Each structure stands twice: as C-alpha cells, then as structure tokens.
C-alpha cells in the first residue's frame, strides 16, 4: 500500500476545514454529529467534536447508527424534526438516502465523510455545493478507503498523545493499525492496553436500541491526559464500557456453549444453521467463532433484532461454498432488505415472512453442498 493511502489528501482536508469553519462562523449553534456505531465511527466523532469545540461550537447533539443494515429510518424522522443547522455524518452511506437529504437541506447545511464503496450515489438530486459537501476517498482519491478516524484526526490537526491513541484505536477496529506509520513510537505494552480499550469501545455498540446513549464517546471525552496514564479502574465511564463488554462476552460464551451442546448430538454435522435469542446483536461474532471450530462447514447464525431478522454467514477454511453466490441464490426465492458481503463472510436481513423463506432456501443449498462434498469424497476413495 502506498503511503498516501494512510492519509486523506491535503486538499480534501482543506476543503472540509473551510466548509466546517464557515458553518461555525455563520451558524454558531444546533450542530449535529451522526456517526457509525463502531470503533471507527466513534473515534472520528471524537475528533470532529474536538474540532468543533475549538471553533467555539458548544451546542452539539450526537446520534449513532448501527450496522449491519444502517438503519437510517430510526435516524431520519428525529433529525427532520429537530432541524439542526449543521449536520455532520461520519462513516456511513447516508448519501444513498436522497429524499432524506433533499428534505433535510431546506434547514440544514450538510457534511458527509464516508469511506465505503459509494453504492447507488444519489448525486444528481443532492443539494448544491454551498450547503452540501460529501467527501469519500473511494471516489475522490483513486479508490483509497482511508478510515473516518484518519480523516477527522487530520481535520482536527492536534498531535498530542491522546490524539495518537484514539487514532490507533479507530484504526485498530478497522484492522488498519498494524503497519501504520503513525505508531512507531508506541511500545507494544501500550498498544495492548489500547487494543483492549478499542475492543470495549467497539463492542459497546452491540447493545440494542440506544442511539442516543454514547457510552464510548463519553469515555473518550472523560480522559484528561492520555489512555496510558489514565487509571481505567477508577474511570466510571470505562467501568461502564467494561461491564457491557463482560455482559456481551458472557452471553456470547453461553450461547456458543448451547450450540456446541446441541452439536454433540450430531456425530457428523454437515452444516450449522441455528437461531439464537439475545438482546444483543451477536450472530456475527458467534458465527465467526464457530468457523474456527468447524473448518469444513458452512455456518449460518440468525436472530431477531429490533424489528427484523438477521442472518450472518461464515465458512470454515476448508469449505468451498461461495457465500456471496449463496445470497444471490436466496434472493431468487425471498425478498431481502439487505444482503451481501464477501465469499467468506456475508449477511442478510429480512422481515419475518421473507426471512423464513430465505432460511428454507439456505437449508436446501447447505444440504446440496454437503451432498456434493460427500459424493466427491466417495469418488476419491474409489
Ligand atoms: Mn464503520
């Protein structure tokens, strides 16, 4: 990877800076930061907030949006009602919501930074340049996918130890931190402490329906010196993060235990397809963990979460099934709300009726795959 990909181009940073500074001078109040509920989104919101406060903006509201499906509907109604004067969206494909942006811009100046594939960009119908700035390095920087945290860190421009640490944590949860040229001076014990904190930040967003509660951001704001010097065991905000982490981890362990108990009754499992019940969105991490225990199998773990059904798919290293193709097959039989991913890891969501159809189809494909594998093995023996 080239050095440039670690950073967002200076001219893009300058453009964003000018746009936000102008807004700060003319509007002064009712600023909103909307961030993706994950490590990168949260750390970028931290830097953006620091930048705004240095511009003497004190009236800032915060909201986060969760994956897997970027539930923008929960966001749009309250935002249109609250009518912020300036709205900042970090690390999420909000530009696909053209109707929402068109309505919002009547009262609101809009800034967006995202680094995901642009998808169906609502470009033509979007607000004019005066009131709207959208930066995505995938479009504006030869396809580089520089994380939102890097962008906001560059924008804020301060280079104290805490800034470096929060940059590290944002990049760590995006799996970018290793090899990044910014962290050469940080010792590995220090890095380990940051990784632990980063995991706690990331996991705190798996709690249900809490888009106005900012455990992780509140913790970041509470650190006065640096994470290195901070007595985490005495930091009330960090204790909350730790408690959520333990709660979720315990529930995950317990659910995996139930699944493994269940698997014992099947001496030769051909696939794993199981529903779980939890207030937390755990199907992804559980499916990921099971793939290591069952390298030959395809794994689907599903759950109801909020109003919809979610299924996360993973496959072991020795399993040949392509999960993207699997989802395409499912789409022929059921209407999905969202669906996609990589050949090794994919996910889909649907409402109840369609989800049942999808699971039915998935089961058939799993069985067909297991059957073809068995036949292959028997042919090899001959
Ligand atoms: Mn993100």
| DSSP string covering 10-55 | HHHHHHHHHHHHHHHHHH-S-EEEEEESSHHHHHHHHHHHHHHHHT
Say if 141 falls within a structural domain: yes
Say if 250 falls within a structural domain: no
Question: 357 and 213 in one domain?
Answer: no
Question: 300 and 155 in one domain?
Answer: no
Return the beta strands (E) in 254-381 as ranges.
272-276, 298-305, 308-315, 338-341, 345-350
Cα(3) to centroid(ligand 1), Å: 22
Say if 262 falls within a structural domain: no
Say if 96 falls within a structural domain: yes
Domain that holds residue 179: 3-242
Say if 129 falls within a structural domain: yes
Question: 280 and 233 in one domain?
Answer: no
Q: How far apart are CA 287 and CA 285, in angstroms?
A: 6
Given this model, what pLDDT does residue 119 score?
63
Cα(144) to centroid(ligand 1), Å: 15
Q: How close are the terminal C-alpha atoms of the chain, in Å?
A: 47
Question: 192 and 75 in one domain?
Answer: yes
Cα(375) to centroid(ligand 1), Å: 42
Q: Total domain count for the chain?
A: 2
- Beta-bridged to residue 273, according to DSSP, are 300
Q: How far apart are CA 283 and CA 137, in angstroms?
A: 31
Question: 116 and 37 in one domain?
Answer: yes
Please report, in tens digits, the pLDDT of each residue of the chain (382 residues total): 444 479 999 999 999 999 999 999 999 999 999 999 999 999 999 999 999 999 999 999 999 998 766 778 789 999 999 999 999 999 988 888 888 998 999 899 999 999 877 665 555 556 566 788 999 888 888 778 899 999 999 999 999 999 999 999 999 998 888 888 999 999 999 999 999 999 999 999 988 668 899 999 999 999 999 999 999 999 999 999 999 999 999 999 999 999 999 999 998 999 999 999 998 889 998 999 999 999 999 999 999 987 889 999 999 999 999 998 999 999 999 999 888 878 888 899 999 999 999 999 999 999 999 999 989 888 887 7
Cα(205) to centroid(ligand 1), Å: 11
Question: 67 and 188 in one domain?
Answer: yes
Say if 45 falls within a structural domain: yes
Say if 274 falls within a structural domain: yes
Cα(155) to centroid(ligand 1), Å: 18
Q: What is the CATH number of the domain that holds 31?
A: 3.90.1640.30
Strand order, beta sheet including 308-315: 272-276, 298-305, 308-315, 345-350, 338-341
Cα(357) to centroid(ligand 1), Å: 30
Q: What is the DSSP letter of 274?
A: E
Question: 286 and 235 in one domain?
Answer: no
Given this model, what pLDDT does residue 3 score?
44
Question: 315 and 237 in one domain?
Answer: no
Cα(37) to centroid(ligand 1), Å: 7
Cα(112) to centroid(ligand 1), Å: 13
Cα(153) to centroid(ligand 1), Å: 15
CA 170 to chain centroid: 11
Q: How far apart are CA 168 and CA 195, in angstroms?
A: 8
Question: 307 and 158 in one domain?
Answer: no
Say if 253 falls within a structural domain: no
φ, ψ dihedrals at 88, nearest 5°: -115, 125
Q: How far apart are CA 370 and CA 319, in angstroms?
A: 10
- Residue ranges near ligand 1 (ion) with Cβ within 5 Å: 36, 38, 40-41, 91
Question: Last residue of some domain: 190, 207, 242?
Answer: 242
Question: 181 and 85 in one domain?
Answer: yes
Question: 217 and 125 in one domain?
Answer: yes
Q: Is 95 left (phi over 0), alpha (psi -120 to 50) or beta?
A: alpha
Given this model, what pLDDT does residue 176 score?
85
């Amino acid at each position: 990877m080239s050095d440039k990909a670690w950073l967002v181009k200076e001219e893009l940073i300058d453009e964003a800076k000018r746009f936000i500074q102008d807004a700060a001078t003319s509007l002064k109040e009712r600023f909103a930061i909307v961030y993706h509920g994950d490590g990168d989104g949260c750390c970028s919101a931290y830097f953006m907030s620091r930048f705004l406060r240095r511009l003497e903006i004190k009236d800032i509201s915060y909201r986060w949006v969760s994956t897997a499906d970027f539930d923008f509907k929960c966001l749009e109604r309250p935002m249109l009602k609250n009518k912020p004067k300036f709205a900042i969206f970090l690390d999420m494909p909000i530009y696909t919501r053209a109707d929402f942006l068109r309505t919002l811009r009547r009262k609101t100046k809009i800034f967006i930074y995202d680094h995901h594939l642009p998808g169906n960009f609502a470009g033509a119908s979007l607000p004019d340049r005066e009131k709207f700035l959208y930066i995505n390095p995938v479009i504006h920087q030869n396809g580089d996918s520089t994380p939102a945290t890097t962008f906001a860190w560059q924008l804020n421009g301060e280079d104290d130890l805490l800034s470096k640490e929060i940059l590290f944590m944002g990049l760590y949860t995006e799996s970018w931190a290793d090899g990044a040229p910014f962290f050469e001076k940080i010792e590995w014990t220090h890095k380990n402490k940051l990784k632990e904190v980063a995991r706690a930040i990331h996991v705190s967003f798996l709690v249900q329906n809490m888009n106005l509660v900012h455990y992780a951001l509140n913790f970041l704001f509470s650190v006065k010196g640096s994470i290195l010097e901070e007595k985490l065991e005495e930091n009330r905000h960090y204790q909350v993060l730790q408690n959520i982490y333990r709660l979720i981890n315990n529930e995950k362990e317990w659910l995996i235990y139930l699944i493994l108990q269940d698997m014992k009754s099947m001496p030769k499992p051909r696939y794993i397809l199981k529903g779980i019940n939890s207030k937390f969105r755990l199907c992804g991490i559980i499916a990921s963990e099971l793939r290591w225990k069952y390298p030959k199998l395809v794994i689907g773990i599903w759950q109801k979460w909020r109003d919809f059904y979610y299924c996360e798919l993973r496959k072991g290293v020795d399993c040949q099934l392509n999960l993207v193709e699997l989802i395409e097959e499912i789409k022929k039989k059921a209407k999905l709300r969202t669906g996609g991913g990589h050949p090794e890891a994919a996910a889909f969501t649907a409402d109840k009726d369609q989800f049942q159809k999808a699971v039915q189809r998935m089961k058939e494909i799993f069985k067909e795959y297991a059957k073809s594998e068995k036949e292959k093995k028997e042919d090899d023996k001959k």
